[in-house]
Chains A and B, each alone.
Chain A
Amino acid sequence: MKNKASVVIVGGGITGTSTAFSLAKRGVKDIVLIEREGLASGATGRCGAGIRQQWGTFQNCLLARESMKVFENFQEVLGTDIDIELKQKGYLLLAYSEKEMDQFRRNVEVQHQLDIPSRLVSCREAKEIVPFLNTEKMLGGAFCPTDGHANPFLATKAYAKAAERLGVEILMKTEVKAITVVNDRIKGVHTSQGFIETDKVVNAAGGWSAQIGEMAGLHLPVYSERHEILVTEPVNPIMDPMVMSFSYNIYCQQTPHGSFIMGYGPQNEPRGYNVNATWQFLETMARKAAWLLPPLKNMRIVRQWAGLYNMSPDRQPIVCESEIVKGFFMGIGFSGHGFMIAPAVGTLLADLITGSPLTWDVVLDLGRYDRHETIAEPSVV
C-alpha cells in the first residue's frame, strides 16, 4: 500500500471507480481508491441500474444524455472488452393524471432541446410497446427508445480495471477510519491498513457519505434511506422497456438474461443504514406488479434485497469541492439515480480536482442550498 497519494477516493461504487478512471485518464498519478468491502458492494451492486434521459430539468437531461453516450460506447471509451449488458429498449413512463401528462409534455420539450428522442404516447401506443400492460386508469405516457439499463457489477468492474491499468491502486477490504484536517486543509487519511498522506480526498461513499463528511468535520446535508428491490427467475424475453410510474410508484425491467428486476419507493421509511429486506415489500411489490403487468403474477421470485438511497435536500446530487475544507471533494446525495449519471459525475469530479473548467455548465455545488437555488426536478422516483 502506498503511504502517499495525490488523491484518495473513498468508495468503490460506480461513482468512485468512474472518478478514478476519469482522473487517471487525465494523467493524474498516485491515485488510491479505498473500499471497505468489495467493488459495487454498496448501492451500486444493489440498484436497478436503469438509465433514463427523460428528466424534467435541462441539467439532468444533459448529465443523463452525456452519460448514456459513454454507456453506449463503453468498450471504446474505457478500452475494455467487458460487455456491460446495456439494453436500450427504452423507458416507458406512465401517467395517471392530467397533471402528470402535462408534466411529461413539458419534460419532452426540454428533452428535445438536447435531441433526446422522447415522445408522448397514448395508452394504445403504450400497449404496442408492452402488449400485456394494464392501461386501466392510465391516461397515457412518455417513451424514449434510447433509454435502458446495464449491469452495474460489470460497469463498476470495467471502470475499476481500466483505472488500474492506468495506474490507480485499488484497496479492497480496507476502511477509511479518520481524516486529518489541518488549517482547513486535508492532510491525510487513516485507513484500517495504515495512514496515507494526501491533500485531496474524494467522498464517494454513497449511503455512508455523511460519515466521511463527519471525519473531515463537515455536516453534509445528506441522509440515507432503505429502498428494496427483487429479482425473479429468468423467462423468455417478453418486455422491452423499463416500465415506470411516479404516481403508481413502481419500476420494472427485464434483464437481457430474462430475469425481471423491480422495486418501488417506500413510504415512511426511517432514516438510517438498515438494509434488511422485508416481507411487506414482497407482498406490496407482488400486488403492484401483478396489477400493472398481469403475466408476472405467475413468476417466481428468486431473491430480494435492499440498498441505501443517499438523499439530498432537493433530491439532486452534490458534486463539488467543500468551501470549508480545501481538498475535500464529494460526489454524493444521488437520491436514487447515481448509476445513470456516474460517467458524467466522474468527468465533473476530475474537472474539479484538476482545477479545469467544468466540461458542462451545471450547478451541483453545496452552496446552492445557501443560495436557495435548489434544483426543481419534477421527475424523481
Chain B
Amino acid sequence: MITCDLLVIGGGPAGISAAVAAGKAGLKVLLLEERERLGGQLTKQTHRFFGSVAERAGTRGIAIIKDLETVVAQLENVEISLSTTALGIYEDGVSTALKSGKMIKIKPKAIVVATGAFEKFLPFENNDLPGVYGAGAVQTLMNIYGVLPARRILMIGSGNIGLIVSYQLVQAGAEVVGVIEASPKIGGYLVHASKIRRLGIPIYPSCTIKKAFGQDRVVGAELVRLDEKWKEIPGSQFTVDCDAICLAVGLNPLIDLLGQSGCQFKYIPELGGQVPIRDESMRTNVPHLYIAGDLSSIEEATAALLEGELAGLSAAKQIRPGQSLEARMEEVKTHLRALRSGPVGEKIRSGLSKLTGEALPTPSPRTNAIDELSRTGIASPANLAGVLPDEKRKKTRAYAVIECYQQIPCDPCVHNCPFGAIKPFSDINDLPIVDFDLCTGCGQCIGRCPGLAIFTVDETRDGDRAKITLPYEFLPKPVREETVDLLDRSGKCVGQGVVKSVLNTPKQDKTTIVTVEIHRNLVQDVRQIRVVQKS
C-alpha cells in the first residue's frame, strides 16, 4: 500500500496545478496520469492559448505544458507516475490504479480528481463509417503522431474546438470543405472563426448533417438547413464531397471514478451534462475528495489551472491546517469569477448558479454590433470603423488594427505592447482599445494575439503603395521580395503584393510576421496572404 498526503488523478493542466499548489504547501503528493506524458488536452494544442496571461495565455498549449512540467519536476515532494490509470476510489479511501499491468493501491489523506472530459457523439445515418472522427482524435493523430487522417474534411460544430481543429488541419495540409453549425450563430470565439474564414473555409450556420455517404469509408455527406426553430427546411438538402467527417459537438465530463466514490451529481447542460456537485473551493460531498478542470465543468485551460490550484490548496488546508492559504484561495476565486464574468461566460455562470444556488453577478451588458459577424465570422465595415484611427492619424504613423470585436476572457495583447498603447483592462473580458497617440505600429503585439486578430497598417507614404503586416503560420514561409496572393476576410484573392519583410525569430515561436506592400485601397481588406506555389 502506497501512502501519501494527496493523490491527484489526471495529469492535465488541472491536475498538475493541483499537485503544484499542494506540493508547494508541503504535502506529499502522488500524481497519476494514464498517458505516457503529462499535459492532457494541452499536449496536442499547437495553437496559442487565449485566456489570462497570468495563466500563460498567449503561448502555445504545448509550450504551456513544458513550463508546467518544469515547475512540477522541481518539487521534490511531488511524485509523478505516468502510464498509470486510476481504476477505483473505494469506500475506505483506498484508490487503485493499473501500472505496468499490475494493480497498485494507494491510501492518501485526500484526493483531487481531474480526469477531464470525453467527446460527445452525434446520431446520423452511417455515423459508423470509417472516416467519421472525433475532433480530439483528429488532433491527436495529426499533432501528436504526425498522421494526417484525411485530405478533405467536413467539420461538424463551430465551437472553439471545431474552429481551432479546422485551422490546424489546414496547417497540416488538408482541405476543410466547411464547418457546419446547427445554431444560427457561430459557437466559438469570433476571432477563431475569422481566422478560418480568411483561409477560405465556409461556415454554414443553421445547418446540420443528415447522413454520411460511402460503402466502406466516407466519401461525402448530405447536409440540411434548419429554420429558427431548429427544424429541417424541406428541400434544403445539399451534399458535399469529403473523405472524413470530424465531430466537434461538445464534451462530457469524465465522471466514472467519482460515481464509484459516492460523489453526487447534477445534470446541468450548461456545464457539460452530468457534473459533480461541489462547492466554491472544489470540495465534493465526499469528505477529502476534490475535483478540478473540465471534469467539474467544460471550460478552458485558464479555468482548469485556477480550479486545480484551488483544489490543491483546499486539500492542503484540510490536511495541514494552520497554514495561511486563505488569502491565495480568495485570490484564485476572484480570478475565476472575473474570468467568467463576460458575455461568453454567461453559460458557465448560469450553470454554476444552478449548481451552487448562488447567483453570480452579471456585468452590465455592453452591446456589441457583432450580429452579422457572429453569423459569418466576417467583420462588417461598421465593426472595422470602430477600431481605426482618424484620417489624420493614419497619415502620420503606422498603426495597429485590432480586429477583436467580441468580449472574451483574454488579455495577452495588453501585456505585449512596449508602449502601453493598449489600454489596461479593468476586466479580462474587456475589448482592447488602442491609444493611437501611443501606438507606433511596431507590430510587437501581432504574434502574441491568440486570435491572430492584430494587423498593422502603414499608409504614411504618398502614392498608391501601402504596407500591411500580418501573422502567418503556414508552410512554406514567404521570402523577401516574393510576390504573394492577397486574401480578404472571406479568403477571396483580391490581388497580389510583394513581401517586404519576414520576421521569424525563435521569439516569434513560429508565428511569422510578414509585411507586404500592397495597393493602398486594399489595406483594410487584405487579412491573409497565400504563398504562390511554384510549379
A-to-B contact residues, CB < 8 Å = 274, 276-279, 282-283
* CA gap between A141 and B90 in the complex, in Å: 37
Which residues in B have their C-beta under 8 angstroms from that of A283? 103
Give the number of A-B contacts (CB < 8 Å): 20
Which residues in B have their C-beta under 8 angstroms from that of A277? 88, 90, 260
Is B237 an interface residue, CB under 8 A from the partner?
A: no
Which residues in A have their C-beta under 8 angstroms from that of B88? 277, 279
Contact-size category for B: 10 to 19
Which residues in A have their C-beta under 8 angstroms from that of B90? 276-279
Which residues in A have their C-beta under 8 angstroms from that of B92? 278
Is B105 an interface residue, CB under 8 A from the partner?
A: yes
Closest CB in chain A relative to B408 CB, distance in Å: 42
The 7 closest A-B pairs by CB, nearest first: A276-B91, A279-B96, A279-B90, A279-B94, A278-B90, A279-B105, A279-B88
* CA gap between A276 and B259 in the complex, in Å: 11
Which residues in B have their C-beta under 8 angstroms from that of A276? 90-91, 260, 262
A282 x B96 contact (CB < 8 A) = yes
- 11 chain-A/chain-B pairs, Cβ below 8 angstroms: A274-B91, A277-B88, A278-B91, A278-B92, A279-B88, A279-B90, A279-B94, A279-B96, A279-B103, A282-B96, A283-B103
Chain A residue at minimal CB-CB distance from B88: A279
Which residues in B have their C-beta under 8 angstroms from that of A274? 91
Which of A274, A282, A283 counts the most chain B CB atoms within 10 A?
Answer: A282
Within 8 A of A (CB), among B247-287: 260, 262
Within 8 A of A (CB), among B170-186: none
Chain A residue at minimal CB-CB distance from B96: A279
Closest CB in chain B relative to A225 CB, distance in Å: 16
B-to-A contact residues, CB < 8 Å = 88, 90-92, 94, 96, 103, 105, 260, 262
Chain B residue at minimal CB-CB distance from A283: B103
Which residues in A have their C-beta under 8 angstroms from that of B262? 276
Closest CB in chain A relative to B47 CB, distance in Å: 37
Closest CB in chain B relative to A193 CB, distance in Å: 22
* CA gap between A276 and B260 in the complex, in Å: 8
* CA gap between A276 and B286 in the complex, in Å: 14
* CA gap between A279 and B96 in the complex, in Å: 7
* CA gap between A258 and B429 in the complex, in Å: 56
Which of A276, A277, A278, A279 counts the most chain B CB atoms within 10 A?
Answer: A279
Closest CB in chain A relative to B244 CB, distance in Å: 30
Which residues in B have their C-beta under 8 angstroms from that of A278? 90-92
Closest CB in chain A relative to B350 CB, distance in Å: 28
Which residues in B have their C-beta under 8 angstroms from that of A279? 88, 90, 94, 96, 103, 105
* CA gap between A1 and B260 in the complex, in Å: 34
Which residues in A have their C-beta under 8 angstroms from that of B105? 279
Closest CB in chain B relative to A162 CB, distance in Å: 32
* CA gap between A379 and B357 in the complex, in Å: 56
* CA gap between A276 and B96 in the complex, in Å: 15
* CA gap between A344 and B103 in the complex, in Å: 43
* CA gap between A274 and B92 in the complex, in Å: 13
Closest CB in chain A relative to B512 CB, distance in Å: 49
**With contacts A274-B91, A276-B90 known, what are 9 further pairs, Cβ within 8 A?**
A276-B262, A277-B88, A277-B90, A277-B260, A279-B88, A279-B90, A279-B96, A279-B103, A283-B103
* CA gap between A277 and B94 in the complex, in Å: 12
Closest CB in chain B relative to A1 CB, distance in Å: 26
Closest CB in chain A relative to B309 CB, distance in Å: 30
* CA gap between A278 and B92 in the complex, in Å: 8
* CA gap between A279 and B107 in the complex, in Å: 12
A282 x B91 contact (CB < 8 A) = no
Closest CB in chain B relative to A41 CB, distance in Å: 16
A282 x B103 contact (CB < 8 A) = yes
Which residues in A have their C-beta under 8 angstroms from that of B260? 276-277
